[in-house]
Amino acid sequence: MNTRNKNLPAEERRAVTVEAVVSLAAEQNPNGITTASIAKRMGLTQGALFRHFPNKDAILQAVMEWVADRLLARVDKALRGTPSPLAALEGMFMAHVEFVIEHPGVPRLLFGELQRAEETGPKRMVQTLIHRYGERLRRLLEEGKTLGELDAHLDTEASATLFIGTVQGLVMQSLLAGDICRMRKDAPKVFAIYQRGIRSVQ
pLDDT value of position 5: 54
DSSP 40-104: HHHT--HHHHHTT-SSHHHHHHHHHHHHHHHHHHHHHHHHTT-SSHHHHHHHHHHHHHHHHHH-T
Residue 58 CB partners (closer than 8 Å, separation 6+): 121
pLDDT value of position 8: 62
How far apart (Å, rounded) are the C-alpha atoms in residues 74 and 96? 8
pLDDT value of position 6: 54
H/E stretch holding 20: helix 10-27
Domains and CATH numbers, the chain: 1-53 (1.10.10), 55-198 (1.10.357.10)
pLDDT value of position 114: 83
pLDDT value of position 7: 58
User: What is the chain's pLDDT, residue by residue, as a tens digit (202 residues)?
Assistant: 444 555 567 788 889 999 999 999 999 989 899 999 999 999 999 998 998 899 999 999 999 999 999 999 999 999 998 999 999 999 999 999 999 999 999 999 998 888 888 888 888 998 999 999 999 999 999 999 999 999 999 999 999 999 999 999 999 999 899 999 999 999 999 999 999 999 987 6
pLDDT value of position 1: 42
Cβ-in-10-Å burial (0-12, 13-18, 19+) of 1 comes to: exposed
